[in-house]
Amino acid sequence: MRPIILNPLFAEVTARRGVGPQMARLLERLGITRMRDLLFHLPTGRIERRRISSLDDAAVGQGAIVPLTAQSYRSGSSARAPFRVDAFDPAGNHAAIVYFGRAQGMARKAFPIGEPRIVAGRVDRYGDMLQIVHPDHVVAPAEAASIREAEPVYPLTEGLANSRLATLVAEAIGDAPDLAEWIEPSLVATRGWPAWKAALSAAHDGHAAARERLAYDELFAGQLALLLVRRASGARKGRPIAGDGSLRARLSLPFALTGAQRRTIAEIDGDMAQPRPMLRLLQGDVGSGKTLVALMALLSAVECGAQGAFLAPTEILARQHCETLRRMLVGLPVEVALLTGREKGRVRESVLMGLADGTIHILVGTHAIFQEAVNYRDLALVVVDEQHKFGVAQRLMLAQKGRVPPHLLAMTATPIPRTLVLAAHGEMDESRLDELPPGRTPVDTRVISVERLPEVVDGLARHLESGQRAYWVCPLVEESANADSAAAEERAALLKARFGTSVGLVHGRMKGPERDAVMEAFKTGTISLLVATTVIEVGVDVPEASLMVIENAERFGLAQLHQLRGRVGRGAAASRCLLLRAPSVSENARARLALMRETNDGFRIAEEDLKLRGGGELLGTRQSGDAAFHIATPEQVERLIETARDDARLLLDRDGGLEGERGQAARNALYLFERDAGVALLRGG
Ligand code: ADP
Ligand code: MG
């Protein structure tokens, strides 16, 4: 159970006075639902303002808090022109207060003619005039003290003012309990880190050491949880798996394994034969044939009378993997079942029964396969496809499944630096599939300005007329599935106007069965042009598709573009990828797109991408729930992760049950960062 001292931190924000349902909705958009989330919503910057009595003391480009009185208004000549309040300070200096958009009402209310106001904002020079655009605060002189001279600047959402959020955060910090130190004392001393609660307020005031400490806390909790998983697994031993090859021998593959596939399979066999659980990361470029390697490992488990699970990042992929495996296993006595959020009622029941009694040998699915209700008779191996979406939390869930901890094979097309692997997964062994199957023709990639869209569509017409299939990927509009879907719908409508019923559409907001039907139609060729959002990003395999158009390519990460491009070039036909870009893009974007044109080498692309964007992509989207870390930046991960691992290790060496004073404090850290499944393991083992 969670220590009582932490309860206030896990209280809902709505329990606070003044946070009603509407405010709660706004906060939720920022991922804030509980008090702890407010504490960890760190500012991106800081406004500093100087209190001055006249504009004579104003520094251009700097924040100021200054008394001003409105003398007159000036509306613009057009509706879109700014609204201007001409105001004067007590010394008679003039400044214009400028409002853009439909803010006239707000401006008039804030500045009644002739009434003195205290105004906070940045003073700029416009021609030979001083101006303040959209002041941060305007109050009556009696309330002057309510304006702070320094204010953190927070990531916001529309409808939520920075000052309001800053107040909430400040209150939350004030109410936070003092927590005992969980970091090794000598480390705290050498780094000059403040204690936890002090670090909170200092971090919000922009102090680097304090922020670093909070990031470290997060990494430390993650490493501690991973080590607990490791120890719990290690203590319980793994189950040695060595298949007799009877099923593998009966596979009839239309091709020979590549050398890299054979080597990798041998590495995996070697691991699984050990009496401790395998923890191996398989890195292989798009199209390098990871699925087959996974199948071989799964068959080994089945040959031993055990079961395997294959976890896919999306439902589309889970379905596809299930089909692929079933196709390859035709005629073999191996039962493959599918379980995603969509299998419900009877279907789900019968899968659960088959897993429990062992008649199902291989389960393919999404995260649903780890739900509490899912019990395996004898789970010996878990394969995780595209592992960066499989975080620490899932690992913990997995560790709690079954009596014997299963072997784990994680697969990724994106090479991941060692420190990031360590951060997200703990120590892992690595295999590389560094060889593509023979006969692949590299995808011919071109970068084209969207101004030439009509030509692109004409080219597409020729492509479709010749009986080939194509993808059209629509831009990421915002970080919102709805906006993406709308853009895709609009594009599909335009293309349908020209190409009629041969056009299909898939996007994230569609219902599962609808989406399946479209994917199926594209696979069989009833549909020859598939308009899609990035739901097709990973793994979709339709070898007949040989043209890919990606709109607003400059908005995608390189690794993501490479994944998307990997959907073509899978069949015999020469394939092409057209990257449409905005008419004018930055130098950086130009360079990135040029690299896509230049190389098909996923490892090189990933390296460059990492240089250009940092590791954020690999660690998940910060705002979304599946991010590995919410506080630590990729740079901090890189710098602090090994220390965090050593610190956590040392603590567990001294106090394996986390019973001592520091051990108890460390339990708080696990709860605070929601790694408390690690605490559960302590009780069990
Ligand atoms: P990825 O590594 O991207 O997951 P897949 O496992 O989907 O790649 O394999 C891509 C394609 O290559 C599939 O159509 C698969 O059947 C094929 N393939 C896999 N191994 C070989 C091989 N050794 N020779 C020829 N084709 C292969
Ligand atoms: Mg794959």
302 plus 270 within the same structural domain: yes
User: Which residues fall within 8 angstroms of residue 626, CB to CB, at 6 or more apart?
Assistant: 389, 391, 620
Residue 169 lies in a domain: no
Q: Determine the pLDDT at residue 605.
A: 83
For residue 325, give its domain range. Answer: 246-433
Q: Are residues 515 and 546 in the same domain?
A: yes
* CB of residue 261 inside a 6 A radius of ligand 1: yes
Residue 597 neighbours by CB distance under 10 Å = 13
Are 388 and 527 members of one domain?
no
CATH code, domain carrying 269: 3.40.50.300
Rounded to an integer, the average pLDDT of 598-626 is 62
Find all residues with CB under 8 Å of 329, minimum gap 6, and list them.
251, 295, 336
Domain final position from 599, 633, 667 = 599
Considering only CA atoms, which residue is closest to atom 1 of ligand 1?
Answer: 287
Any domain includes 397: yes
* Ligand at shortest distance from the CA of 318: 2
Q: How far apart are CA 599 and CA 200, in angstroms?
A: 45
- For residue 533, the model assigns a pLDDT of 83
| Distance in angstroms (rounded) separating the CA atoms of residues 419 and 629 | 14
CA of 287 to the centre of ligand 1 (A): 5
Average pLDDT over every residue of 616-627: 42
Nearest residue (by CA) to ligand 1, atom 5, is 289
12 DSSP 8-state letter: B
- Ligand 1: does its nearest atom lie under 6 Å from the Cβ of 307? no
From 195-204, 387-396, 599-608, 645-654, the region with the lowest mean pLDDT = 387-396
Distances (CA, A) of 173 to 39, 177, 217, 630: 6, 9, 17, 18
Choose which residue among 291, 314, 325, 385 to substitute to test ligand 1 binding: the one with the highest number of ligand atoms within 8 A of its C-beta: 291
Question: How do residues 636-677 score in pLDDT, each as one tens digit?
Answer: 988 999 999 999 999 999 999 999 999 999 999 999 998 877
Task: Identify the band that residue 619 occupies on the pLDDT scale cut at 50, 70 and 90.
Answer: very low
Q: Do 392 and 493 sit in the same domain of this protein?
A: no
Check if the beta carbon of residue 314 is closer than 8 Å to that of residue 535.
Answer: yes
Same domain for 463 and 427: no
Domain end, chosen from 578, 599, 620, is at: 599
> Does residue 217 fall inside a structural domain?
no
Are 429 and 506 within one domain? no
In a shared domain, residues 293 and 376: yes
Ligand 1: does its nearest atom lie under 6 Å from the Cβ of 19?
Answer: no
Are both 304 and 390 inside the same structural domain?
A: yes
> Are 448 and 527 found together in one domain?
yes
Residue 463 lies in a domain: yes
193: which DSSP letter?
P
Tell me what the mean pLDDT of segment 134-149 comes to.
91
For residues 346-351, give the mean pLDDT: 96
418 φ, ψ (degrees, to nearest 5):
-60, -40
Alpha-helical segments (H) within 466-582: 481-499, 512-524, 558-565
Among 113, 132, 153, which residue terminates a domain? Answer: 153
CATH number of the domain encompassing residue 119 = 2.40.50.140
Residue 320 forms part of a structural domain? yes
The answer to whether residues 423 and 495 belong to one domain is no
DSSP one-letter code for 79: T
> Would residue 22 count as lying in a domain?
no
- Whose Cα sits closest to atom 26 in ligand 1? 437
- Above pLDDT 90, what percent of the chain? 59
Give the 3-state secondary structure of residue 225.
helix
pTM, rounded to two decimals: 0.68
Is pLDDT larger for residue 479 or for residue 515? 515
Taking the CA of residue 293 as reference, the ligand 1 atom at the shortest distance is: 6
pLDDT value for 493 = 93
Report pLDDT for 620.
43
C-alpha span between 384 and 291 (Å, rounded): 11
Residue 204 lies in a domain: no
Examine the domain organization and report whether 286 and 399 are in the same domain. yes
Residues 448 and 593 occupy one common structural domain: yes
pLDDT confidence of residue 197: 97
Query: Which H/E stretch holds residue 301?
Result: helix 290-303
- How many domains would you assign to the chain? 3
Does 426 map to a domain?
Answer: yes
Positive or negative: CA dihedral 343, 349, 355, 356? positive
Distance CA 238, CA 241 (A): 9
* Degrees to nearest 5, angle at CA 482 with 480 and 486: 125
